[in-house]
Amino acid sequence: MSRLDGKIVVAVDGPAGVGKSTLAIGLAREFHLTYVETGALYRAIGWVARERGISPDDEAALAAIAATLPIEFSLEGELNRVILDGRDVTTLLRSPEMGPLASQVSAKPKVRSALLDRQREFAKLGGTVAEGRDIGTVVFPDAHVKFFLTADVEERAHRRYLQLQDAGEDVSMAQLIEEIGTRDRQDSGRAVAPLKAAADAIIVDTTHLSVEGVLDVLREHVRRAL
């Protein structure tokens, strides 16, 4: 169930680079909601697996990591810090190579199953805004408000390019367009919990909208739900 103790649950889904994190953080801050970044969970599992020399195809080992992942989130301004076993891994998890690895990890049914209850546990802390790729379809199918964000691949690549530049990463636009296109195909084509809009989701194309412009749209729907 997503309607935990009558507290509002907002689902924000969409493909890589569409701005889910920025927008979900904006909603969380404005409406005093708990922010759950599910993509960081899969990235963290992939990062731990790589550190331990575990293959991204070893489903049982990945599920074991998921079941015991010592992860915490700390929202600081517009940044969601990810603390893994006491270590701040925020920048490491957002490096370009972690996206495709997270997609491989998230395609494993046992991993998704191991994380499902953990994601719902976060929501028990209070009203929640959760973002990912299957929030409105699988994790919180009864969410009070469901958003599905879209944007052109080129625009998403440009946004990610600016983010990585700010972080001091050297990456080309062509590389990002290729990586995001590959990620889209992986996420949409996987057998378990594929990326898709829930039947009752509010679809918002963010290609030609500013962050504040998109937030205005999302805020209005959340206010109505409240």
User: In this structure, what token pair is assigned to residue 69?
Assistant: 């992942």
Residue 74: inside a domain: yes
User: In this structure, what token pair is assigned to residue 181?
Assistant: 């296109």
Between the ranges 5-14, 77-86, 142-151, where is the mean pLDDT highest? Answer: 142-151
Residue 1: inside a domain: no
Residue 151: inside a domain: yes
Residue 165: inside a domain: yes
User: In this structure, what token pair is assigned to residue 115?
Assistant: 């994380």
pLDDT score, position 6 = 55
C-beta atoms surrounding 6 within 10 Å: 7
Q: What pTM did the predictor assign?
A: 0.84
CATH code, domain with 22: 3.40.50.300
Residue 19: inside a domain: yes
Q: How many whole angstroms separate alpha carbon 49 and alpha carbon 67?
A: 13
What is the residue type of 89? V
Residue 224: inside a domain: no
User: In this structure, what token pair is assigned to residue 162?
Assistant: 């600016």
User: Predicted confidence band at 110 (pLDDT cuts at 50, 70, 90)?
Assistant: very high
Residue 158: inside a domain: yes
How many separate domains does the chain show? 1
Question: What is the domain range of residue 16?
Answer: 7-219
CB under 8 Å to 118, separation ≥6 — which residues?
Answer: 41, 66, 69
pLDDT tens digits, one per residue of 172-209? 999 999 989 998 998 898 888 889 999 999 999 999 99
Torsion-angle region of 6 (φ positive above 0: left; ψ -120 to 50: alpha; else: beta)? left
Residue 225: inside a domain: no
